[in-house]
Amino acid sequence: MTCELWFSEYQTKSLKLSSKIKDVIFTGKSEYQEIQILDTITFGRALVLDNTYQTTEKDEFIYHELITHPALFTHPNPKKVLVIGGGDGGTVREVVKHDTVERVDFVELDRMVVEVCKKYLPSLSCQIDNERVNTIFTDGIKYV
């Protein structure tokens, strides 16, 4: 007998997004939310917060590149950038690709999300410790 493990995120009462899981890499609960890193067959590792997909290794570039580059290429000389949220680090990774950027204030509420992503999603979080990145753990609204 074989056992298959699937993760499903319900979109509506009649629609769900499901992925077959190779392995559950991490599961934990921070002060703010439940955090999981799942190794999926189709999308590689996935960050799941409170049973909701946040990002996956295979398709994260679509979101992170589009949320970052149009604004930074439009600005004539971006030097200081504020990133609120995005504890996986993908947006920060894309921002520091711009040589004119001198400082990135990276504001994230949940320290555990950042720590878990640095450990289990290094392809996304690889620039969080960049010398131009100033990581601040607080509520984004309070920071602004």
- pLDDT tens digits along 73-104: 999 999 999 999 999 999 999 999 999 999 99
E strand map for the chain: 5-12, 15-29, 34-40, 44-49, 52-56, 80-84, 103-108, 133-137
Cα separation, 115 vs 49, in Å, equals 14
Chain mean pLDDT for the chain = 97
Amino acid at 54: Q
Residue 30 CA to residue 143 CA, distance in Å, equals 21
Q: Using the predicted structure, report yes or no on whether residue 1 has a pLDDT greater than 80.
A: no
Q: What is the pTM of this model?
A: 0.94
